[in-house]
């Protein structure tokens, strides 16, 4: 996610990092080249004049802009829902840490690097940090073991590798620990139900994230808008050249930048869990949760992640 102050004045035209220009640059350049050639040829292909005019573009342009705006609104709804779900993961994980410390009897906080994982409360709390990392990697199709290993015992870390859904495995392990606490009398059954509700909420947030990742905006709808936007912009010089002459490439550049940019931006934020500059900063969210959970068990917390070149991963 791009983290920077909004520029003022002419600086807004000089920004590259976080801009959609790198993505649409080749198509935009081709469109301008076509506009220059059409302007030089006065809208003709050899001896054949292309009398399109501006009316068809007026009729198509407004509906196209509306539909692009609608698609981007749907894509942003997915982005914002994904952010709310990760807010839910952080909220529930913090709540789990508090419940483990206040509702389950134990020997007190312990540093997990010095054997604290033997304490059920510490084990469940730190496993919530492993859950967040596992969910992030599940959504990005990457290996979670380097990030989850510090919070799991070696046997549990190896067992997790055999599961396709690693966040679900960690929830199962936390449920087993909660059952152990109830059987040993370390927590009242009525209070254990509250902890179980927290675990269920974590599972619900993970399932909703998987729903967003696995159900994109229908491809046919995206393809229709993509084709229409490109055909509109590539044919636009033929409709403008007779009315505005040498200004045609400049006007086409502005219109194409807007339409190509809206189309590409919708593609980028439609999948909020990726590694594009405008995607959610899942690594930073996991690190923020790590800090809270490790401090809650008396461990030394790592520093928060900082943006690199204005980009927070």
Distance CA 207, CA 138 (A): 11
Between β-strands 48-49 and 44-45, what pairing exists: parallel, antiparallel or unpaired? Answer: antiparallel
Does the pLDDT at position 104 exceed 80? yes
Predicted model pTM = 0.88
pLDDT digits (tens, 9 = 90+) for 12-63: 766 777 778 888 999 999 999 999 998 888 877 766 777 777 788 888 888 8
> Across-strand partners of 311?
2, 308
245 secondary structure, DSSP code: G
pLDDT digits (tens, 9 = 90+) for 262-297: 999 888 889 999 988 889 999 999 999 999 999 999
Read off the tokens for 144: 């979670």
Distance CA 233, CA 256 (A): 6
Distance CA 239, CA 15 (A): 31
Distance CA 86, CA 131 (A): 12
Higher pLDDT, 95 or 42: 95
Does the pLDDT at position 111 exceed 70? no
The answer to whether 202 touches 171, Cβ cutoff 8 Å, is: yes
* SS3 of residue 299 by DSSP: coil
The answer to whether 270 touches 217, Cβ cutoff 8 Å, is: yes
């Amino acid at each position: 996610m791009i983290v920077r102050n909004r520029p003022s004045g002419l600086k807004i035209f000089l920004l590259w990092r976080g801009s959609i220009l790198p993505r649409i640059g080749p198509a935009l350049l081709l469109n301008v080249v076509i506009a220059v050639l059409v302007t030089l040829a006065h809208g003709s292909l050899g001896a054949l004049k292309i009398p399109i005019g501006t009316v068809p573009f007026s009729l198509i342009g407004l509906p196209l802009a509306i539909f692009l705006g609608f698609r981007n609104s749907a894509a942003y709804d997915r982005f914002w829902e994904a952010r709310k779900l990760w807010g839910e993961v952080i909220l529930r994980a913090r709540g789990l840490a508090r419940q483990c410390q206040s509702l389950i009897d134990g020997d007190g906080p312990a540093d997990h690097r010095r054997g604290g994982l033997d304490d059920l409360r510490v084990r469940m709390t730190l496993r919530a940090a492993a859950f967040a990392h596992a969910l992030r990697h599940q959504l990005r199709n990457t290996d979670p073991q380097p990030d989850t290993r510090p919070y799991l015992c070696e046997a549990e870390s190896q067992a997790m590798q055999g599961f396709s859904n690693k966040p679900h495995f960690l929830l199962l392990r936390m449920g087993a620990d909660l059952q152990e606490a109830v059987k040993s009398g370390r927590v009242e059954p009525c209070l254990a139900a509250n902890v179980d509700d927290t675990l269920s909420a974590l599972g619900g947030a993970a399932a909703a994230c998987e729903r967003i990742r696995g159900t994109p905006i229908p491809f046919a709808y995206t393809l229709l808008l993509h084709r229409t936007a490109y055909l509109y912009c590539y044919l636009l010089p033929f409709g403008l050249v007779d009315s505005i002459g040498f200004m045609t490439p400049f006007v086409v550049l502005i219109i194409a930048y807007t339409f190509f940019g809206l189309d590409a931006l919708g593609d980028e934020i439609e999948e909020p869990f990726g590694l594009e500059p405008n995607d959610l900063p899942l690594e930073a969210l996991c690190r923020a949760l790590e800090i809270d959970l490790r401090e809650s068990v008396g461990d030394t917390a790592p520093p928060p992640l900082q943006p690199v070149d204005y980009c927070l991963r």
